[in-house]
Amino acid sequence: GSNWLPTQEYNNVLDFIQNVSWNKGSHAFKFGGEFRQIRFPFFQVPSPRGQFNFNVGRTNDPSISNTGDGMASWLLGDVGGTGSRITTQNFISSFKEAWSFYAQDDWKVTSKLTLNIGLRYELTSPIGEEQGRQASLDWHRNLLNPVLVIPKGKDQDAPLPPNFATAFPLVDVERGIASKFIHDWDKTNFGPRLGFAYEIKEGTVIRGAYGIFYGAEENEGGNPNRGENVPFNQEVRFDSANANSPNPFISQFADGFPVNSFTLPAPISFRTTAYFRKWPLVNKWNFNIQRALGWNTVLELGYIGSKGNRLTVLYDPNRPVNDPRPGVDSASRRMVQALGNSGISEANNFGRSTYHAFTAKIEKRFSNGLQFLSSYTWGHALTDVGTTLAGGPGQRTNNISIEYANANFDIRHRSVTSFLYELPFKFENRAVNAIIGGWQMNGIYTLQTGNYFNLGTNGAVGSFGTVRPDVVSGQDPNLAPSGGRSPAQWFDTAAVTKPAAGTFGNLGNYSNIGPPIFNFDYSLFKDFRINERMKFQLRAESFNLWNSPQFNNPGATQGAGDFGLITSTRDRTARNWQMALRFMF
């Protein structure tokens, strides 16, 4: 089956750092550099033992819905093409290297003003393979004749499957020219750092900062690992029999998989990253004012902002375009015609994001038996890419700027209050104090609005990939239904409808908000002191003391039975009690 087993993963980091500090007058200089070599080899095969799927396509009655049986298809030996495959793969010895250098000056201009000025340079490689056992499909070079690039290495002449040239006659193969990294390095990553702190008057300070920070190529979830390309990873798929087969009634199950050969047409997924790729960067800035209120209490108000550019997008640039006409071959609707019906798993850097937040915090440091910290954040995160593991580029992968909307990780409001309070019960009588004294209460109270999620639709005709529904004119699907929000109906499901054939829905990306979180964790401690250095502590702790339900997002697919319905809660969120006895010395 497709269980990705056996899996072997390793991680080895060589890190060399050197820093130098030099103080001269009102300046505190720092210089330094770092070299990191990160090795993360792994062995992971989707279907090492092979996988057969049996659907109802050959045993159902086309005129009657919900008929047919997969077991009957199995008895007939009719193998369904989708998911029927076997894969092989080499051990992929992935690695990358990174150099960074910085210089910084903390300049105390006056007794009230301090400036922080710095510059950082980062040089990070693409992901390489130690033996050169990876390949990349360069379709950007020539759309009509894409090139499968196999880098220099001892396996640069590894054989392709016997009928690769037949399956992909327009795909050229380039061997032994590119380095083991395949792609060029981005050498332009200079990141300035600026900051200041100014004491307006005693007890009142303002601070601000700005910086540019860079990312690099990351192997998130193994995607899109170029070591899984042919010829280093081979996948054979089994097409189901049809009216054009030599004899569609002969059992295919007994024949097994072809040996080292693609089934024509070869529906494989080529993996690549964009050439001349620039690494992601984020501009970050902040400003806050801090005021001492007395009684060991400090109030802080602030603003945080960021803007991301060249963010990583994992997508299929060869996804078929929509077409409302029935029976139109999907291969003819793909941009890279030379690949037939094969897709491309590509990492590129054209995503963007913004984040703005207002923060407020009041903190009382421990005194007179009391300590507390209360914070509130209003924030708004917008993006057109989400992450490479979840919340991807939405329905329009060929123009993701249209997908710019709430991020799937956007939390609009969040408030957290924590406290520690020692009950003021102390007695000179040791026996009485042992029973009544030494109690401490602790708590953390969390309130936050829900995450935004996408709505989808079932049975979109002539459309591929993610398809959102249309909004009914004058309606807002994010509004609560007339009876208010409840697990039985979280939003107005009548506010959306299926889009017309061959079109995308006009509902925006991540337009609906999920259930909020209300949580109170509480604990009660009792100390039994033996002497000044030793004591026992009895602890009673409750997580989610009020047992407030922490709901998951509702069903989000129009046409499904659970559309708008909440059917589950977040993992490990039910009330939990625990008690412990702790010896402290």
pLDDT in tens, 364-415: 999 999 999 999 999 999 999 866 555 456 787 778 888 999 998 999 999 9
* Mean pLDDT, residues 234-243: 56
- Is 213 inside a domain boundary? no
- Is 97 inside a domain boundary? no
Please determine, for residue 256, whether its predicted confidence score (pLDDT) is greater than 70. no
Q: Which of 150-164, 190-204, 284-298 has the lowest mean pLDDT?
A: 150-164
φ/ψ of 536, rounded to 5, equals -100, 145
pLDDT band for position 249 (cuts 50, 70, 90) = very low
What whole-number distance in Å separates Cα of residue 322 and Cα of residue 330?
A: 9
Could you tell me the residue range of the domain that residue 525 belongs to? Answer: 415-452+468-585
* Mean pLDDT, residues 508-513: 93
Q: Tens digit of pLDDT for each residue in 468-501?
A: 999 999 999 999 998 899 999 999 999 999 998 8
Most confident of 141-150, 234-243, 410-419, 480-489: 410-419
Percent of the chain with pLDDT over 90: 55
What whole-number distance in Å separates Cα of residue 290 and Cα of residue 361?
A: 9
Identity of the amino acid at 276: F
- The continuous run of DSSP H or E covering 432 comes out as helix 430-436
- Cα-Cα-Cα-Cα torsion 38, 43, 45, 48, nearest 10 degrees, comes to 180
What whole-number distance in Å separates Cα of residue 227 and Cα of residue 155?
A: 12
Q: Which of 319-323, 378-382, 509-513 has the lowest mean pLDDT?
A: 319-323
CA angle 134, 140, 145 (to 5 degrees): 85
- Is 311 inside a domain boundary? no
CA distances from 552 to 54, 413, 517, 569 (A): 32, 18, 10, 5
- The continuous run of DSSP H or E covering 442 comes out as strand 439-448
Q: What is the number of structural domains in the chain?
A: 1
pLDDT for the residue 531: 85
pLDDT for the residue 260: 42
- Is 270 inside a domain boundary? no
Residue 453 CA, chain-centre distance (Å), reads 14
- Is 522 inside a domain boundary? yes
- Is 444 inside a domain boundary? yes
- Is 562 inside a domain boundary? yes
Q: Which of 216-230, 238-252, 273-287 has the lowest mean pLDDT?
A: 238-252
What whole-number distance in Å separates Cα of residue 160 and Cα of residue 174?
A: 12
For the chain, the average pLDDT equals: 86
- Is 421 inside a domain boundary? yes
What whole-number distance in Å separates Cα of residue 330 and Cα of residue 556?
A: 27
Q: How many residues would you count in the chain?
A: 585
Residue 90's CB: how many other CB atoms inside 10 A? 19
Please determine, for residue 292, whether its predicted confidence score (pLDDT) is greater than 90. yes
What whole-number distance in Å separates Cα of residue 313 and Cα of residue 306?
A: 19
What whole-number distance in Å separates Cα of residue 195 and Cα of residue 119?
A: 12
> What tokens were used for 56?
């109802």
Q: Which of 152-166, 172-186, 322-336 has the lowest mean pLDDT?
A: 322-336
Please determine, for residue 154, whether its predicted confidence score (pLDDT) is greater than 50. yes
Residue 241's CB: how many other CB atoms inside 10 A? 21
Q: Tens digit of pLDDT for each residue in 70-119?
A: 777 767 766 665 556 666 667 888 999 999 999 999 999 999 999 999 99
